[in-house]
Amino acid sequence: MRTWILSFSSVFAVSLISLIGVVGLSLGEQRVRRLAALLVSFAVGGLLGDAFIHLIPETFARAGDTLVRSLLILVGILLFFVVEKLLRHGHEARHPRRPRVSTDRPALAAVNLVGDGIHNFIDGVMIGSSYLISTTLGIATTVAVLLHEIPQELGDYGVLIHSGLRARTALLANLASASVAIAGTVVALLVGSVAGISVTEHLVPITAGGFVYIAAADLIPELQEDHSVRGLLVQALVISCGIGVMALLTLLE
């Protein structure tokens, strides 16, 4: 029961991040852009730190076939690549590049919400699976998910506004999409409870691979847009802070 309470508390907190769009609008576009760059850097450190300090060591902590576990990490990377590729292809097929007169883009909003919903479902599975292993692993994964959700939800809210939705409608739609993470957590907890801990042990390396992919393929390229030396130093420092937070969480063990 304690695992369920902790899992639902974490996924509820993650879902509420979708409301950050209101804060973003109040800060103004320029401030949001500067803040987003710092958040992305921190998320990179958090995701890589969780993967290499918590998830991957946990994957190899128990006796078993190391080849299979290594392959599962790679499966996680490949899985996220395939999912993102399909979502991008669906978006381009429905929304080809051509001049548009109207600012109303319902297809763009729909594709964004579906893609975000799938992503949030996977986040919920990650959180639930991690708590089935240990409380410390669950907390670390929750923090990592929170870190990369903040800049993502800011972007998602902006996309929905750009697609023609009213501010309140966009906020509620984003919250509904984020709430899909709860379903992912329920599935992970039920599967782990029924099929045993071995299922969860397979999900942990896949989660690690997913975190590595998000950080390396999605977030780090965003940081490369800033070519200044100052940007490099700030990004490296903030990434290190994200890794440091994950290292400090080991003290809870």
pLDDT confidence of residue 47: 84
What's the pLDDT tens digit per position in 109-122? 666 676 677 778 87
The set of residues, in sequence order, having a beta carbon less than 8 Å from that of 108 and lying 6+ positions away, is 91, 94, 95, 159, 162, 163
CA within 13 Å, CB half, 42? 18
DSSP code of residue 3: H
Which secondary structure element, helix H or strand E, spans residue 156, and what is its range? helix 135-162
Question: For residue 63, is pLDDT > 50?
Answer: yes
Query: What percent of the chain clears pLDDT 70, i.e. is strictly above it?
Result: 72
DSSP string, 91-140: HHHHS-S---S----HHHHHHHHHHHHHHHHHHHHHHHHHHHH-HHHHHH
* pTM for this model (two decimals): 0.68
Q: What is the mean pLDDT of residues 134-148?
A: 85
* Per-residue tokens: 86: 């399909």
How far is 245 from 197, CA to CA, in rounded Å? 27
Neighbouring CB atoms inside 10 A of 16's CB total 15
- Look-up of token digits 């990377």: 77
Question: For residue 155, is pLDDT > 80?
Answer: no
* Per-residue tokens: 177: 């999409």
* Per-residue tokens: 238: 């903030």
What's the pLDDT tens digit per position in 11-44? 998 888 877 766 666 666 566 566 767 877 888 8
Q: For residue 102, what pLDDT band results from cuts at 50, 70 and 90?
A: very low
DSSP code of residue 249: G
Environment class of 199 (CB within 10 Å of its CB; exposed 0-12, middle 13-18, buried 19+)? middle
Nearest C-alpha neighbor of 127 from the set 9, 227, 242, 37: 9
pLDDT confidence of residue 242: 87
